[in-house]
Chains A and B, each alone.
Chain A
Amino acid sequence: MAIEFSSVPVTSRRDFLSRTGAGFGSVALAGLMAQETKAAIPIDSLKPFAERMPHFAPKAKQVIFLFMYGGPSQVDLFDYKPELIKLNGAKVPDSIKKQKDKVGGVFNACKDELMSGPWKWAQHGKSGLWVSSLLPETAKHADDLCVVRSMFSESSNHAPATYLMNTGAILGEKPSLGSWVTYGLGSPNQNLPGYVLLFKVGGLGGSANWSNGFLPAAFQGTHFRHEGSPVLNLLPPEELQPVQRSTLDLLQQLNKRHAQARPGVLDLDGRIASYELAYRMQSEAMEIGELSNETSSIQNLYGIHDKNKDKATFARMCLTSRRLVEKGVRFVQLYNAVDKLGWDGHGNNHEFHQRNSAQTDGPIAALLTDLKQRGLLDSTLVVWAGEFGRTPMMQGGNGRNHNPYGFTIWMAGGGVKAGTQIGATDEIGLRAVEKPQPVKNLHATILTALGINPDDLSFDHNGRQERLTGVAASWKTIPGVLS
């Protein structure tokens, strides 16, 4: 590398603060200086992803969040309901119909007719986990999974429910889970963003799903592509690539002269460093995208050449996520959708679930296998979840409507009690009745696995001490998930 860098050693936080000037280094700093009474986390604006100590020994160090977009149907995948099969075609039992729900109308737009799926159910592994025939590959990992069958959401509408799953609030204005985690812990690799998203079609409601909200902008999710150059503008156009280094060299020479004439303005040094980081990112991120460096057996395990193009796409994302985790990226989130609909089978649930299962089952199972064989599963928390589930009632021809009252998620890997099943929905699979879990409990569980006390991960904003999990002590980790 032709240029050496003036690094700014930071001996202590106080020292750093004292040299930052009037707080235009970063809003985190300015915010901290105004509100030093609160135990917010000090962020070095020059190294926002510098690793920070967790509150206690973590069970997992990294996260891969598999977002199943559109609302996968619990009663067709993991939530085996013999009663529903028996009542196929019958009306909804009165005892269930007459219950009042807080969120909008679950019976709206549904027929008063129960519908069981056409798939076979079987128990798998030593744990005897029920999995439908839609997910034969995932089923082989039955003893790796901890399945929570009693989640509930607070909106039956995609965007608010997706925001809730990603940010803990149904309004799209709060920081996302990945932002909170990287704000709290930084990330092991300083040459890559700490919070990476992989998607062909991102969550409903757009960028608010990976927004940093009021946290410093460095903690916003970065979208990695699954083909070609992994980050937009990672490289200049081809004709400029040969002159990239010499251009940077002049830039940095002039920048240093400029900074030398303005001693003490740390932002100027920070910006010099950011150009060098960008340069290093170019090679490191490019390397991430080189899936051809993987052995052909790994490529085939994931199915990146599968003739089902949607499966191949998702397989590339799954494989890329493993490579990112291997490189030390803290938080990776994948969306499986290839269109606006994902699992959202209103009119034709059968076809949607056939399609999405075929797309995701193999690659996800491969990811679990691969993480395990590399010894990464012990330190990586894998989360599988959508924004809500689907109704056991029929909608349209053979569709199912949104169901925020009871749905299934699973976790695997670091800190998770493998081969367990937690909670239950009612006899038809509509409402969570045994150990019902709000989304904030899932967030609390993820944070706790990472060694973070959810109440201590806070940020003072507009007169409020903001947390992912809301009011202090208003959450519980999902009982039985963490080992």
Chain B
Amino acid sequence: MNLMTYIIAGMLVAGVTPSDVRHFTDAVEPVLKAKCYSCHGKDKKSGGLRIDSLKAMLKGGDSGPAIVPGDLKKSLLLEAISFKNPMNQMPPKEKLSDKDIAAISLWVKQGAVWPEEVSVLFDEDPSFLSKLTSGNGKSRILSEGAPSGKIAMGITPLQREGPKIPNWSFLIRENPNEGEFRYLRMAWKKKGEGSIMVELASNGNWPDAKVAKGRYVAGPNTTGWAAVSVGEKAPLDWEFVTMDLWKDMGDFTLTGIAPTCDRGEEAFFDSIILGPSVASLDGYRVEKYPVAVVASSNAPRKNLGNAFTDPENPIRKIFKGERLDLWSLKAPVKSEIPKLKNDSPSFTNIDRFLIFKMEEKGLSPSPKADKRTLIRRLTFALTGLPPTPEEVRSFLADSSPKAYENLVDRLLASQSYGEKWASHWLDIVRYADTNGYERDEFKPLAWQYRNSIIRAFNSDLPYDQFIKNQLAGDELVNATPKDSREADQLLATGFLRLGQYDSTASIFQEEARSRNEQMADLVNTMGSAFLGITLSCCQCHDHKYDPFSQDDHYRFRAFFAAVKPNDALVIESSKELEVINQHNALIDKNAEPLKKSIAILLDTGRQKVIGERKAKFPQDIQALIAIAESARDEAGRKKLQPFLEKLKVADNDAKAALDEAGKKRIEELQKSLAEIEAKKRVARKAMGVSEGGQSAPATHVLFQGDHSQPKNEVQPGFLSVLNPNNVDIKPASNSTGRRTALANWIASPDNPFTARVIVNRVWQHHFGVGLVNTPNDFGYSGSRPTHPELLDWLSVEFMAQGWSIKKLQKIILLSNAYQQSSLQEARKQAIDPDNKLVWRQNVRRIDAETLRDSLLAISGLLNPQYSGKPVWPIIPDELLKAQPGILEAIKGEDGGRMQGWYPDSLEQADVRSIYLVRKRSLPLPFLDVFDLPDGTISCGRRDQTVVAPQALMLLNSPESIRYAQALANRISSLKQSPKAHIEAAFALVLNRAPDLKELDLSLEFLNRHSEKYQSKGVMKDVLALRDFCRTLTNLNEFAYID
């Protein structure tokens, strides 16, 4: 222990010396606790006696007080422990040691000082740092040199603070009752020059800058904040100070604390305790209040270089200099276009990269696909819908050299383009409309995020800006949005809210676990989505394959530490908000006379009721009411209070007291008022995030990812292999600015991952396979790029063209490679069976949503305009009741949490699948069976399974049969002859005419089925046609794109 002085800022309450107190806590209390409390404590009081407090001892048991302070002879306790009286011997089993008996005797003789309980604000609990939620300084836990216990805390200028710490409501009083306090003691010291200070918050507020009370300072105060001085110099070594808070500040409620220092280097604090008396502080022993033992120091990092250049880089140390040749760590550079043996002006640069590799293997690209295949391939890829027969006809008829390019442009500009491409993004960010877990509540605002993504794709929002919006849109918009573009920036932060959330965790005190999972999920999704790296590995340990450390996971996590959910982000522009306010003000103004009339009428009724009630009060009460309030004495006031409560008349009671005419009048007025007020507009709100301050709770590395085992604290930082230093972050006006810093790093041309990852995704959706086959993993366990030079060339080109996804797509779509046939050739297949060199296109099944949307489109059922809130299709009751959370809602037992299923009508649900509700615990059966991702983790590439339940769904489900029926109705209303029906069906479903054999088979089928339906009369042909349409919609040719 170091130098120890007692400085009392207020008046010292004398009478008891610290050594008296120490004697009790060191020598007496442990004996009582070990030997006596089990029979004379809170669980059991033998002989009616408790001796676990001074009060209880003085009160005594059946035989009288246990002690009389200062009088050994009259103290029964001493008689008992001395074993002098055979009828009174305690503890009964074994006499105390002579030393213990002597200690207890001395204690009684000296007056039986028993310090009251103290409250420990900080001593051995490292999580205290997370309670200091704001302030510009940095905080850390020191595990060495603490004057009390094992740890202390360090604060760098300016301060760390928490004005309203949860569960802090300490009453400071002159004569504290139980649970109240008066004195504060702590240990502090300061490194370097400057002063050290502590600020105390009262009722959630910091003291006025000009008022000294509430601040204590040691050393020259240059902060500009008035403070009570408790020392001319800041102590260079640990010093205990005790403040009489009541003396200095009077009655108040302590709600928060700010350890502070004004200049120079770090300040240190330890053992901050509150006590009702100085003696209670003296009696404090750290062992009495044990908390988790933690903490290694978090020494500030030196400025280090990346792992390639700096041997001190931690990644270099962890992995012994290995793992640094990972291809994706080097930023893409513009590759040179390869020189081909046989170049052609018709080749695009993409073709040159591809053909160059084919030449090495003796391969060549496939011929161009026919135009019908091309328009089908392109329309499905860009819109998720089939081309209409008219679109096919006009494209086939267009012989201009720009026909194909014009088609690309038309499709890229269509509304359905965004609906298709947003769905790819929603997979990546594991979008859903519900929380998941037991309750799986509906999130009524999530869909606005979905629509903002559709708008982003349709408006070709540059991808770098897109990233910034997703991660930090709220930090980029100043208060309310200026326009719809800024509103979309706010909406984009919905990205941070899409993970699963267990709302029941709090019931079982599992919030910490749940939050840890949410944060890990957010970091992992961020890594997968934007960087194509797998950060889930390093939640528990350093990465198994890639050069990423466990710290890296938590450095990324720290960027999100201050994020708070916000379900009420105003997304109206400030201009619109003003319009709304004016509109509403006008309504208020119009409503004013009505309100007044209503009030007058109600008052009439109210006076009547009051009169009646008063009349029933006892005489003395009536008399009390009659005298002026100031003239009533305290007792009178107290007595009167309940009666005055009775004179508060509810509106309904007042109304009921009116005569019939009055009642009628008031009802008319209320109706008019309701009508007027219904016209008020409500500003649209969005689900997103905000931080609401410039500070963030500390982020610790967690031992094996376990939230209950924090290790060292980390600051926000990027991948250490590239930059191991803490990030210099500029706070935004009302947030830490951390996410902006992260977004800027990700959305930078220097980031080696970002452009490549998105370019690869776009390529994958156009070819079925990415240049890197593992779109969410660019690490060692993922695939290497088949064409690294092409990937780099495209990535650099993409950034050069302003991160435009549409421009990138046009480059890809205009290549010969994209337009080539998918037919396999035996010779080439033998050389490159997996088509890694892209010598042909790939045959692909359309995905779940495309399948359903196409069925709706060809059958004429699709409502292509709808773009609003989630639509709930009708699904079998049996499925709903089999899901416990929904069952609870069906029974009306979900407490309004929206755990249920809220079906719209059959026709209302005929919208594009992206607008259908995504409920995590009950995926839509039709989409689920066709490999819709489950919305729990980022999905960069969907399953493409072929299983029997898909056949059952497409053949037998009521919806499939409805589509077939609608298609048949549509065709039969247009055409007359069976042949015309067949041709129309082929044109709609397959975008081509049937060949002769197909026509024969089809005609025969229609005839046969028509005969089977003889009994149905005029309906027989349309029923046969329905069966035929049912066949066509199940065809491989419908479900697979060449």
Select one of B43, B544, B998 contacting A91, CB under 8 A: B43
Q: A157-B504, A204-B884 are in contact. Are A21 and B824 (CB under 8 A)?
A: yes
Chain A CB within 10 A, most for which of B438, B922, B946, B1008: B946
Q: How far is the CA of A170 from the CA of B514 in the complex (A)?
A: 10
A250, B1031: Cβ atoms under 8 Å?
A: yes
Asked if B437 and A172 make an inter-chain contact with CB atoms under 8 angstroms apart, the answer reads: yes
B709 to A, closest residue via Cβ = A102
Q: Shortest beta-carbon distance, A161 to chain B, in Å?
A: 10
CB <8 Å contact, A155 and B513: yes
A232 CB → nearest B CB, Å: 7
For B997, give its contact among A22, A204, A257 (CB under 8 Å). A257
B224 at the A/B interface (Cβ < 8 Å)? no
Q: Contact check, A105 vs B509: say whether CB atoms are below 8 A apart.
A: yes
**In whole angstroms, what is the CA distance A254 to B845 when docked?**
17
Is the CB–CB distance between B887 and A258 below 8 Å? no
Closest B residue to A33 by beta carbon equals B834
Q: Which A residues are CB-close (under 8 A) to B920?
A: 172, 206, 208
* Given known A-B contacts A30-B773, A251-B1034, A265-B824, A208 and B934 have beta carbons under 8 A apart: yes
**CB nearest to B994 among chain A residues:** A254
Is the CB of B1037 closer than 8 A to any CB of chain A? yes
CA of A211 to CA of B937 in the docked complex: distance in angstroms?
Answer: 13
B761: interface (CB < 8 Å): no
CA distance A207 to B927 in the complex (A): 14
Complex alpha-carbon distance, A258 and B823, angstroms: 12
* Contact yes or no, A247 B956, CB < 8 A: no
Q: Are B884 and A236 in contact, with the CB atoms below 8 A? A: no
Chain B residues, CB < 8 A from A102: 708
Query: Is A359 in the interface zone, CB < 8 Å from B?
Result: no
Could you tell me the distance between the alpha carbons of A24 and B1030 in the complex, rounded to whole angstroms?
A: 26
Contacts of A270 in B (CB 8 A): 946
Q: In which size bucket is the chain B interface?
A: 35 or more
Q: Tell me the chain A residues, 23-38 only, with Cβ under 8 Å from chain B.
A: 23-27, 30, 33-35
- CB interface residues, A 193-223, toward B, < 8 Å: 193, 199-208, 211, 214, 216-218, 222-223
> How many residues from A make CB contacts under 8 Å with B?
101
Q: A240 near B: Cβ within 8 Å?
A: yes
- The residue of chain A having its C-beta at the shortest distance from the C-beta of B946 within the complex is A270
Is the Cβ of B1027 less than 8 Å from the Cβ of A251?
no
Q: A21 is contacted by which of B438, B833, B888, B1012 (Cβ under 8 Å)?
A: B833
Assess whether B941 is in contact with A27, with CB atoms less than 8 Å apart: yes
Given contacts A34-B783, A255-B1035, A464-B544, contact A155 B921 (CB under 8 A): no
Please indicate which of the listed interface residues A105, A172, A263 has the most CB atoms of chain B within 10 Å of its own CB. A172
Q: Which residues of A contact B997 (CB under 8 A)?
A: 257
Is A45 in the interface zone, CB < 8 Å from B?
A: yes
Give, as a whole number of angstroms, the nearest-CB distance from B922 to chain A: 6
Q: What separation, in Å, do the CA atoms of A45 and B885 have in the docked complex?
A: 34
B407 at the binding interface (Cβ < 8 Å):
no
Indicate if B949 sits at the interface (CB-CB under 8 A).
Answer: yes
Is B611 part of the contact surface with A, judged by Cβ < 8 Å?
Answer: no
Given the interface pairs A157-B438, A157-B504, A278-B951, the reply to whether A24 lies near B845 with Cβ below 8 Å is: yes
What residues of B have a CB within 8 angstroms of the CB of A149 in the complex? none
Q: A108 near B: Cβ within 8 Å?
A: yes
Q: How far is B944's CA from A274's CA once the two chains are assembled, in angstroms?
A: 14
Question: Known contacts A236-B955, A463-B781: does B885 contact A206 (CB below 8 Å)?
Answer: yes
Q: Which of B105-113, B596-604, B836-844 contacts A (4 or more CB under 8 A)?
A: B836-844
Docked-complex contact A105 and B1035, CB < 8 angstroms: no
CB < 8 Å neighbour of B948 from A23, A223, A236, A278: A278
Q: Does B672 contact A (CB under 8 A)?
A: no
Q: Is the CB of B502 within 8 A of A274?
A: no
Interface check A373, CB cutoff 8 A: no
Interfacial chain B residues near A170, Cβ < 8 Å? 513, 517
If over half of B's interface residues share one DSSP class (helix, strand or loop), that class is named, otherwise mixed; here it is loop
B502 near A157 with CB under 8 A, answer yes
Q: Are A464 and B537 in contact (CB under 8 A)?
A: yes
Q: Which residues 937-983 of B have a CB within 8 angstroms of A? A: 937, 941-953, 955-958, 961
Question: Which residues of A have CB within 8 Å of B881?
Answer: 200-201
Chain A proximity of B211: nearest CB distance (Å): 42
The reply to whether A275 and B1034 form a contact with Cβ atoms under 8 Å apart is yes
* Bound CA span A293–B420, Å: 50
Provide the B1024-1042 mask, 1 if CB < 8 A to any CB of A, else 0.
0001101100111101101
Select which of B543, B781, B936, B945 is within 8 A of A173 by beta carbon.
Answer: B936
CA A218 – CA B436 in complex, angstroms? Answer: 23
Chain B min CB distance to A237 (Å): 7
CB distance from A338 to the nearest CB of B (A): 10
Q: Is the CB of B1001 within 8 A of A250?
A: yes
0/1 per residue, A33-68, Cβ < 8 Å to B?
111000000000110100000000000000000000
**Minimum CB–CB distance for A168 against chain B, Å:** 15
Which residues on the B side are within 8 Å of A30 (C-beta)?
769, 773, 941
| A309 part of interface (Cβ distance < 8 Å) | no
Q: How far is the CA of A253 from the CA of B1036 in the complex (A)?
A: 11
Q: How far is the CB of A43 from chain B (nearest CB, A)?
A: 10
Which of A19, A155, A214, A236 is close to B510, meaning CB atoms less than 8 Å apart? A155
A144 to chain B, nearest CB (A): 31
Nearest A residue to B939 by beta-carbon distance?
A214
User: Given B546, B842, B884, B945, which contacts A45 in the complex, CB threshold below 8 Å?
Assistant: B945
| Residue from B878, B956, B1009, B1036 in contact with A255 in the complex, judged by beta carbons closer than 8 Å | B1036
CA distance A66 to B1018 in the complex (A): 54
A158 to B437, CA, bound (A): 9
A22 touches B768 (CB 8 A): yes
Which B residues are CB-close (under 8 A) to A244? 955
Q: Is B179 an interface residue (CB 8 A)?
A: no
- Within the complex, what minimum Cβ distance (angstroms) separates B523 from chain A? 13
Could you say which residues of chain A place their CB within 8 Å of the CB of B537?
463-464
Min CB distance B883 to A, Å, is 5
Q: Is A462 part of the binding interface, using a Cβ–Cβ cutoff of 8 Å?
A: yes
- Smallest beta-carbon distance B798→chain A, Å: 23
B540-570 Cβ-contact flags toward A at 8 Å (1 or 0):
0001111000000000000000000000000
Contact A247 B936 (CB under 8 A): no
B948 and A253 contacting across the interface, CB-CB below 8 Å = no
A160 partner, pick from B502, B884, B946, beta carbons under 8 A: B502
Output the nearest chain A residue to B518 by Cβ-Cβ distance: A171
Q: Which of B536, B884, B891 gathers the greatest number of chain A CB atoms within 10 Å?
A: B884
CA distance A339 to B780 in the complex (A): 48
A463 near B546 with CB under 8 A, answer yes
Within 8 Å CB of B943, what residues of A?
Answer: 26-27, 216-217
Cβ 8 A contact of A201, one of B543, B884, B1030: B884
- Cβ of A262 within 8 Å of any chain B Cβ, yes or no, is yes
CA distance A30 to B844 in the complex (A): 14
Interface string of B873-909 (1 = CB under 8 A from A): 0001011011111011001010000000000000000
Interface assignment of B774: CB less than 8 Å from any CB of chain A: yes
Chain A to chain B contacts (Cβ below 8 Å), 24 pairs: A25-B944, A26-B944, A27-B941, A27-B943, A35-B782, A103-B513, A157-B504, A159-B438, A172-B437, A201-B882, A202-B882, A208-B436, A232-B957, A236-B956, A247-B955, A248-B955, A254-B1037, A258-B1037, A271-B1039, A274-B946, A274-B950, A463-B544, A463-B546, A463-B781
Q: Closest 10 A-B residue pairs measured CB to CB?
A: A206-B921, A463-B534, A173-B936, A278-B951, A159-B438, A104-B509, A104-B508, A264-B824, A340-B884, A278-B948
Task: Tell me the B residues contacting A by CB distance below 8 Å.
Answer: 43, 436-438, 440, 500, 502, 504-505, 507-510, 513, 517, 521, 528, 534, 536-537, 543-546, 708, 768-769, 773-774, 776-777, 779-783, 822-824, 829, 833-836, 842-845, 876, 878-879, 881-885, 887-888, 891, 893, 920-923, 925, 928, 931, 934, 936-937, 941-953, 955-958, 961, 997-998, 1001-1002, 1005, 1008-1009, 1012, 1027-1028, 1030-1031, 1034-1037, 1039-1040, 1042
- List 15 other contacts, CB 8 Å, given A22-B769, A24-B768: A21-B843, A204-B438, A207-B923, A211-B934, A232-B925, A233-B952, A237-B961, A244-B955, A246-B1008, A246-B1027, A247-B1030, A268-B1036, A271-B946, A278-B951, A463-B777
